[in-house]
Amino acid sequence: MTELDDERETAALLGQLKAEPSAAARELAFAKLSQEFHAAPARAFSSTRRWAVAAAVVVVVAGGMTWQALQPTAVVARLEALDGSLVSHGAHWFSGDTRPRAGAVLSAGDSLTVSNDSGALLRLSPDLTVRLAAGTHVQLGSPEEIELSVGEAFVDATPGAREPLRLVTPHGVVTHLGTQYLVRSERNEIEVSVREGSAQLKSGQATTVAAAGEWMLHRDRDGGIHTGRLPPDDARFDWIAALPTGFKLDGATLGQFLTWFHRETGLAPIYAEGLDGGHLGAVQLKGSIEDLEPLEALSLVLATADLAWHRDGEKVIIERRSANAG
């Protein structure tokens, strides 16, 4: 084969490469590259052929990168709320870092890092959300699996909804049984705190299920899983208040609002003696509680009905507003 024939063959290879190279074209180009560089030592490359082969490699790599980037990726979640900032890195190695805003779509393979003093609320489905605390790093695998390498994730599913989810950490796998629980993954341990429903933790050969009001803790140096009790308003859950799920107040009833409040805080609203809960629960509300934390929203909503509240342990007592209240 003459040098001119070599040039024509290389040109033909380049002509086969498109934005989406076929597997056959890629294999042929790399085979030709290997042949050129590993042929008999006595055969010298011309500078022209070297440039042509190098160009073939560049086009193969660039075409492959373009082809990868154009492949559709599965949508895993939507960034429903963001308190502060979040850094996202795409699934491909050549993807750059971005700072998504609330409403952004997040795909399989995306890595998310929540900035310090920040938090994020991801909606995986109409019945399932995951809240991420400051300093948390996760990778989205699918709507049914998230890798939590470090930080805290609070899972909240609508009671009765079938929403399979696995949180995979370096220390164990947490399986969603429903409906509200917190997973904390640190350097040498994992803790699962269940506020409502139940969750399963499998670490090594040990598997434990915790119900509402229980926590599970595995430390790598211990090997086993320790358990204990906790109240629904435990301090572990305090950071969640800054990331409430959305609630459309206008047109809703007081009873519907209080149901939302209970799920957001773990606190049980109780009407004081002498109040007609059935009548008050049917009162229709107006306005908006956007950007308010649940306790702030409670004060605002009750004030419109000439009501107030005070805390009694795990309960919120709803009562008539005093005449001298501001």
| CATH, range 75-238 | 2.60.120.1440
Domain positions in the chain: 3-70, 75-238, 244-320
Q: Which two tokens stand for residue 56?
A: 């073939």
The CA distance from 171 to 177, in Å, is: 19
As its CATH architecture, domain 244-320 has: 3-Layer(bab) Sandwich (3.55)
The CA distance from 106 to 77, in Å, is: 5
Q: Is the pTM of this model over 0.75?
A: yes
Domains 75-238 and 244-320 share a fold: no
The CA distance from 166 to 56, in Å, is: 43
109 — alpha (psi -120 to 50), left (phi > 0) or beta?
left
Contacts 24+ apart (CB under 8 A), 30-33: 30/60, 32/56, 33/57
Each of the 326 residues of the chain gets a pLDDT tens digit; together they read 544 344 445 444 444 444 445 555 555 555 554 565 455 454 444 555 555 544 444 444 444 444 444 455 789 999 999 999 999 998 766 668 999 999 999 999 999 999 999 999 999 999 999 999 999 999 999 999 999 999 999 999 998 888 889 999 999 999 999 889 999 999 999 999 999 999 999 998 889 999 999 999 999 888 789 999 999 999 999 999 999 999 999 999 999 999 999 999 999 999 999 999 999 999 999 999 999 999 999 999 999 999 999 999 999 999 999 866 55
